[in-house]
Amino acid sequence: MFGLNNVWDVIIVGSGIAGLYTALNVDENSRTLVITKSDIKESNSYNAQGGIAAAIGEDDGPDIHFRDTIVAGDGLCNPEAVKILVYNAPSIVEELIRLGVEFDRDKSGKLELGREGAHSKRRVLHSRGDSTGKAIMEVLIRHILEREIPVRDQTMVLELIIDDHICKGVLVWDKKREMIYPLYSKAVILATGGMGQVYPFTTNPSVACGDGLVVAYNAGAELCDMEFVQFHPTVLRHPSAPSLLITESIRGEGGILRNIYGERFVPKYHEMGELAPRDVVSRIITEEMERTNSDYVYLDITHLSKEFILSHFPMIYNECLKYGIDITKDYIPVAPGAHYMMGGIRTNLKGETCIKGLYACGECAGTGIHGANRMASNSLLEGLVFGKIIAQEVSSYVLNNGDISILDIEAIEKKVCKEGSLKEFRVKMQNLMWRYCGIRREEKGLKILLEELEKMQQDVKNMPVNNFQDVETKNMLLLSRLIAESALERKESRGAHFRIDYPYRDDIYWQKHIIKKKG
């Protein structure tokens, strides 16, 4: 078809850490294709400043890492999934070093371990200070190229091909070739990342629209824990700057949050101060901004030495300097922003969904690891640990299944227009989600939100899509509705989900997962 191979053993959708590491671990005899909506470097993983948590310190152990993760998850973690995560973490670090990742070390050559929110020990490894994601991704990309694993970029998945409850490939829109066509395979692995673009303020890149969640839902897969969206407490808030994440490591190294009057305020609200769980710090900052009638607070690291700041946070230093902020001398204006999805496509411990042949890995997967609130630096680790497990499972699945089914799906020409037709709907949706389904929620606002989202979905239902952004907007309208429905249904406050009208955790009725399935 068009000089392209459209039949594969394994198709991996997404080029972040979960997608690429999975691809590298699939049996080399399998025909594996990686699809990415933008280019191979455009992902949350590539932009990740935070590190990888692994209990390798002398005073640490997987059992302590397990306990910290369970506590942070606020009663909703899957203990078995967490055990797999923490006990595999040290070997994953060894594997990354073997592949060529250079983690930061002290002057004696010993691996340097940082501490972040909700961790009781120093166990977070970084590379190049605040550019860990980029450092790891560059190594993985190099190995992908060396192995000659094909990557088809500028290609968006529109639907999963399902036949008799079995996933048999994907229907894609190829921007380069201006065609919509099917790609067939024995197995499909969704590693499409997060959905931060549902909100107007987010640390996520423009591609993080939750597309994988939507195509899985439309195909009949289950989504879980959609109400649990983590808002990172410290995102650069500057009129001319993008929503730049200011890594939690800064607070782990002694960064202080101050209000617009320069007063430290977090310890008044929580005994752990700046290292309280992210959901707590985000709510504290929101309350303090309202109390002081400000759009931001300050993060202060001016008491740290310039040498330390430049060696540990070089990327943040250079980015902030572009906007006239010298973080060695100036306070950093910050406010919360949407950051991470705890829920996702429901999977078992092998990454399998309820659809045969369909797997999910990384942020788009609902493994139960993060519960109601992800602990810092467990996310890159999750993509690696479960990417390896899924690769092994898929390799066996491919080996034990026969020929690939080719269905009668015609390819069609589909030009991509520069301008979409749904931009106004996207902006309205984002603002409504921030107002009614953001850091704090209540029944009245959620009902208003759902009514507005339903109207917009009806308005865009039959409108044509002219580019990828239009498809994303339709996807995000559906995703927003599922998040809002789950938030309305959960009548308690737990982890990242905070209800003003139900401010307390209720284990009697709500220590359970909310599942969403089409129909």
Whether 206 is in a domain gets the answer: no
d(CA 456, CA 462): 11
- Specify the pLDDT at position 418: 81
Whether 209 is in a domain gets the answer: no
Whether 273 is in a domain gets the answer: yes
Boundary (domain end) residue, out of 337, 354, 371: 337
Per-residue tens of pLDDT for the chain, all 519 residues: 555 789 999 999 999 999 999 999 999 999 999 999 999 988 888 887 779 999 999 999 999 999 999 999 999 999 999 999 999 999 999 999 999 999 999 999 999 999 887 899 999 999 988 889 999 999 999 999 999 999 999 999 999 999 999 999 999 999 999 999 999 999 999 999 999 999 999 999 999 999 999 999 999 999 999 999 999 999 999 988 877 889 888 998 999 999 999 999 999 999 889 988 778 899 999 999 999 999 999 999 999 999 999 999 999 999 999 999 999 999 999 999 999 999 999 999 999 999 999 999 999 999 999 999 999 899 999 999 999 999 999 999 999 987 887 888 989 999 888 878 899 999 999 999 999 999 999 999 999 999 999 999 999 999 999 999 999 999 999 999 999 999 999 999 999 999 999 999 999 999 999 999 998
> Based on the number of CB atoms within 10 Å of its own CB, is 253 exposed (0-12), middle (13-18) or buried (19 or more)?
middle
d(CA 376, CA 370): 10
Catalytic residues: 278
- CATH assignment of the domain containing 486: 1.20.58.100
Whether 94 is in a domain gets the answer: no
Residue 15's closest CA among 284, 299, 257, 212? 212
Q: Which amino acid is at 316?
A: I
d(CA 140, CA 124): 20
Whether 409 is in a domain gets the answer: no
Boundary (domain end) residue, out of 337, 363, 395: 337
Whether 138 is in a domain gets the answer: no
How far lies 100's CA from each of 96, 103, 135, in Å? 6, 9, 10
Helix axes 79-99, 132-147, angle to 10 degrees: 70
d(CA 422, CA 430): 13
Q: Six-digit token pair at 491?
A: 């009548």
Whether the CB-CB separation of 487 and 343 falls below 8 Å is answered with no
Q: Which residues contact 459 (CB under 8 A, 6 or more apart)?
A: 425
Query: In which domain, by residue range, is 492 found?
Result: 421-514
pTM summary value:
0.95
d(CA 444, CA 484): 12
Whether 40 is in a domain gets the answer: no
Q: Which residues contact 7 (CB under 8 A, 6 or more apart)?
A: 31, 183, 184, 185, 404, 406
How far lies 216's CA from each of 118, 161, 295, 335, 364, in Å? 32, 10, 37, 33, 10
Q: Domains in the chain: how many in total?
A: 2
Boundary (domain end) residue, out of 322, 337, 352: 337
- CATH assignment of the domain containing 306: 3.90.700.10
Whether 296 is in a domain gets the answer: yes
CB atoms within 10 A of CB 230: 26
